[in-house]
Amino acid sequence: MKAKGSRGFTMVELMITVAIVGILAAVVYPSYQNAMIKSRRAAAQAALSDIAQRQQQFLLDNRSYAGTTTALKVTLPSDVSGFYDVTINVPVATPPTFTATATPKGRQVSDGPLTINNAGVKTPAGKW
C-alpha cells in the first residue's frame, strides 16, 4: 500500500537548503564585518574630534595641551576603548602642539590608525 501524502523533506531538499544558506552566509558575513569596522572607525573619529575640541579649551584654560584623556576628563565609549588604544602626544614645543592617535587593536587592526592634531589635520585622509 502506498502512503497517501508523505510529509517532510527529502534528504536532497534538505541538502539544497543547507547549501543555499551556506552560500548566503559566505556572501553576507564579510559585508557585515566591513560594516562593523566602519562603524567602530566612526566612533573612534568622533572620540578623536571630541578630544581635539577639549584640547582647545584646555589650551585656553591652562596655556598648554593635556597629555592624557584623564586630564581632559574624557571617558572613551566602550566601542572605542574595546577596539582602539587612544594616546595623546604633547611634545615640548613653542607654540604648543598635540597629536591624538587611535591605534586599532583586535579585530579592528586591519583598519589602520587614525590621527588628529592641533591644526585639525586628520590622517589618513581616505579614512576620515
69 and 89 Cβ atoms separated by less than 8 Å: no
Residue 5, pLDDT above cutoff 80: no
In a domain, 63, yes or no: yes
What rounded mean pLDDT belongs to the chain? 93
Quote the CA–CA distance of 69 and 42 in Å, as a whole number.
19
Give the structural domain span for 101.
Answer: 11-127
In a domain, 18, yes or no: yes
Predicted pLDDT at 4? 64
In a domain, 20, yes or no: yes
In a domain, 58, yes or no: yes
- The DSSP symbol for 126 reads G
For the whole prediction, is pTM greater than 0.75? yes
In a domain, 100, yes or no: yes
Quote the CA–CA distance of 114 and 1 in Å, as a whole number.
73
94: pLDDT confidence band, cut at 50, 70 and 90?
A: confident
Helix, strand, or coil here: 96?
coil
In a domain, 6, yes or no: no
Residue 58, pLDDT above cutoff 70: yes
86 and 48 Cβ atoms separated by less than 8 Å: yes
Q: What's the structural domain count of the chain?
A: 1
In a domain, 4, yes or no: no
Across the beta sheet with 114-117, the strand order is 84-89, 99-104, 114-117, 122-123
Neighbours of 81 (CB within 10 A): 16
In a domain, 32, yes or no: yes
